[in-house]
Structure 1
Amino acid sequence: MIVLGIESSCDETAASVVEDGHRVRSSIVASQYELHAEYGGVVPEIASRAHEQHIVPVIDAALDEAGVSRNDLDAIAVGHRPGLIGSLLVGLSAAKAMSWALGVPLIGVDHVHAHLWAGMLDRGLPAFPALGLVVSGGHTSIYSMRSPTELKRLGATIDDAVGEAYDKVAAILGLGHPGGSKIDELGRAEGADDRAFDFPVSRLAKESLDFSFSGLKTAVLYEVRGRPTPPAIKGKPPLPVPDVPELTPERTRDIAASFQRAVERAVVLKLERAIEQHGPFRTLVVGGGVSANTRLRSAFAQLADRNGMELVIPAMAYCIDNAAMIAGLGGVLLNNGRRDDLMLSAVPTTGC
């Protein structure tokens, strides 16, 4: 079974041909990093217009690389949720047109769920039940997985996603966009002290499996720029505002390392809670752009080893948004009897 996957949820235009859910025959990604760099983040209107320019050439390139024609396709899978509506509509419109013209099934795929399939590309299925974790720019969620398509969300971020926190901290440190890889590199640099700053780790309620990274982001902001001037109290002299040390390369490096340590502690804490509350699990499945982070990959491996679990984590090429994960999961859904009609909608939020 040969499935074409199409992905356009944010700022990558991607297409991929995947055979039998696992074998990646092609994966093409057109990034928009340079278009958005000067703005410090993704601009939705710019993103959707770039998708319009790239979508047909990217699909053609994916078919050429795979050595297949449109008539060889058994189905079209498309990421239709969650994401930027304008961006989603470009990929969804292309998928609908191809499905109708070729007379093949259309399968709508949840982008967040597809991140959990990314680690299963070019390999077989892991053992279930599994504990799933998606760490990306828009989502930080924990799932109990009975199978690749039977998911129950156990926890999610209540404010900033971990990837968003990385990008905002990178901006605070003057590292530019996207900042995740730059913080990763700085935090691993020779001499970096990850205990130089004791940044907070949000635990929320004792049993909670939800995440919160807004306090961590604010703590870094205060460390770099100082705290806001306290309001004046009538009849009393203004409170002194402490001087803020210069943001030297060494200080920047230590802040990056300390921030990474706080993120690691927060994520591992919630995974350990999930294992205690809902385990045992046979596998830890991780996906999303932040799963490319060197420190977190090491932490996930250690946690899995401590708990006798197999670790399934994507190859670096499949950590970022890509269409191979869409095509792969789409093939599984197709085998399970899933078919969508041409009324399939673009939806800004995840299904669960």
Structure 2
Amino acid sequence: MATILAIESSCDETSAAICKDGKILSNIIATQAVHQKYGGVVPELASRAHQQNIIPVVQEAVAAAKISKKDIDGVAFTRGPGLLGSLLVGTSFAKAFALANSLPLIEVNHMQAHVLAHFIDDPKPSFPFLCLTVSGGHTQIVLVKNYFDMEIVGETNDDAAGEAFDKTAKILGLPYPGGPLIDKYAREGNPHAFAFPEPQITGLDFSFSGLKTSILYFVRDRQKEDPAFLEKNMADICASVQYRIITILLNKLRKAARQYRISDVAIAGGVSANSGLRTMLQEAAEKNGWQVFIPAFQYCTDNAGMIAIAGYYKYLNHDFVDQDVAPMARMNF
């Protein structure tokens, strides 16, 4: 029996959640609209917004869960990876709350938490399983052996898939954040209207930098021929770009499933909210005999619910840290 308060502040969303005995009672997220006019996250502005949001978000999470501070048994927080200034706000609050209430402190790896988000709701995958973890900063294929034993068997050599979506949106003149807008336009377009290259990377690793460059040159050249090219073809361009990014991801995932002889396959991270990825993953599952696991939308993007479930399992394992713990911008599994 354990009730965990969880704090997530790795990037530009301040989030707090309450988990009781493995069940998420509340998951509150405060977004930061201040970054939209800059076309991307500004680290200094993000950390300042976290300072403003952290106390109201925690208070709302506790109230929504219908508990009191006295009911909390442990405090989990994102130690990394992420923006150092943002992490510092969440880490400092978690340490202070734990110290003031004589509670154990639980550090959580942000990327491991994305994987463990699959254990919030039913159905849950069985060990071992593969998880394709895709976000704006990471693209990984993770072999998940148990709650605490995960191995990265494939990852990007350069840019993440989420970054490829966002940078493509910028090339197309779409506002930030552009990934969801590409998904929206793609639903109305033809994914085979334009062909974009697939990087020839051996093994299970990924590369997206070359694809971004090819998209940039494609748009530049077509606009020279017709200045209204983007306006006329936005849906087809978005559908074609999205199709290529997703096929790159799924081709590697398919290869990993064969190599490790695993049929339980999951996706996680912000890009797992992409409707095209979800649809094509289900199609791949039917062809390959996979059992697919996809988190609820609220647990795909950065959120404290996933930190809470990871912290809960760590609490049961008595995996605590001291007050001298510091945030880490880069953090290995």
TM-score tier after normalising by the smaller chain length:
over 0.9
Aligned to 2:283: 302
Aligned mates of 2:122, 2:135 — CA distance in 1: 22
Pairwise CA distance, 1:244: 5.4
SS, match of residue 42 in structure 1: coil
TM-score normalized by structure 2? 0.96
Q: How big is the shift at 1:203? A: 2.8
Distance in 2 (alpha carbons) for counterparts of 1:214 and 1:178? 19
Aligned equivalent of 1:233: none
Correspondent of 1:198 among 175, 195, 198: 195
Aligned to 2:4: 3
Looking at structure 2, the residues matched to 8 and 147 of structure 1 have their Cα atoms a distance apart, in angstroms, of 25
1:27–1:322 CA contact under 8 A, matched in 2: yes
CA distance in 1: counterparts of 2:280 and 2:82, whole angstroms: 28
Q: Contact 2:9/2:87 (CA < 8 Å) preserved in 1? A: yes
In the alignment, is the contact (CA less than 8 A) between 1:224 and 1:244 conserved in 2? no
Alignment match, 2:31: 31
Q: Over residues 79-138 of structure 1, what are the superposed CA-to-partner deviations in whole Å (9 max), with x where a residue is unaligned? A: 111000000000000000111111111110000111112232133642111001111011
What secondary structure does 1:142 align onto? strand
Q: Distance in 2 between matches of 1:163 and 1:184?
A: 12
Q: Which amino acid aligns with 1:93?
A: S
Q: Which residue does the alignment assign to 1:238? A: none
User: What's 2:17 paired with?
Assistant: 16
Aligned 8 A contact 1:85 1:347 in 2: yes
Give the conservation status (yes or no) of the 8 Å contact 2:118–2:125. no
* Partner of residue 257, structure 2: 275
What is the total number of aligned residue pairs between the two structures?
A: 332
Question: Relative to structure 1, is the Cα distance of residues 115 and 56 closer, same or farther in structure 2, using a 3 angstrom cutoff?
Answer: same
Aligned partner letter, 1:73: I
Which residue number in structure 2 is paired with residue 231 of structure 1? none
Letter in 1 for 2:107: G
Aligned residue type for 1:8: S
Contact 2:124 2:293 in 1 (8 A): no
Match of 2:306 among 325, 328, 337: 325
* SS of residue paired to 1:128: coil
Q: Which runs of 5+ in 2 are unaligned?
A: none
User: Structure 1: how far apart are the matches of 2:110 and 2:201?
Assistant: 27
How do 1:1-352 and structure 2 match up within 5 A?
A: 1-21=2-22, 23-32=23-32, 34-123=33-122, 125-189=124-188, 192-205=189-202, 208-226=203-221, 243=225, 246-278=228-260, 280-352=261-333
Deviation at 1:148, TM superposition (A): 2.5
> What's the CA shift for 1:277?
1.6
Q: Structure 1's 305 and 127: CA in aligned 2 closer, same or farther, altered over 3 A?
A: farther
Change (3 A) 1:304 1:350: farther
- Per-residue CA distance 1:180-204 (angstroms, 9 max, x = gap): 1110010111xx1211211011131
Alpha-carbon RMSD: 1.6
- 1:263 Cα deviation after fit: 0.8
The structure-2 alpha-carbon separation of the partners of 1:309 and 1:337, relative to structure 1 and needing over 3 Å to count, comes to: farther
Cα distance in 1 between the residues matched to 2:231 and 2:158:
30
Question: Aligned partners of 1:304 and 1:77: how far apart in 2?
Answer: 34
The farther-off stretch of 296-305 and 259-268 is 296-305
CA distance in 2, matches of 1:251, 1:216: 19
Unaligned runs of 5+ in 1: 228-240
Instruction: Determine helix, strand or coil for the equivalent of 2:18.
Output: strand
Quick one: which amino acid aligns to residue 90 of structure 1?
A: V
- Give the Cα separation in 1 of the matches to 2:82 and 2:164: 18
Q: Between Structure 1 and Structure 2, which shows a larger proportion of helix residues?
A: 2
Shift of 1:265: 1.0
Percent same amino acid at aligned positions? Answer: 45
Query: Which protein is bigger by CA-based radius of gyration?
Result: 1
Q: Give the residue type in structure 1 aligned to 2:332.
A: G
Give the conservation status (yes or no) of the 8 Å contact 2:123–2:293.
Answer: no
Q: Is the 8 A contact 2:257 2:263 kept in 1?
A: no
The 3-state SS of whatever aligns with 1:337 is: coil
Q: Distance in 2 between matches of 1:347 and 1:244?
A: 48
Q: Would the aligned equivalents of 2:17 and 2:28 in 1 still touch at CA under 8 Å?
A: yes
1:250 partner amino acid = K
Please say which of residues 212-221 and 49-58 is displaced more in the overlay.
Answer: 212-221
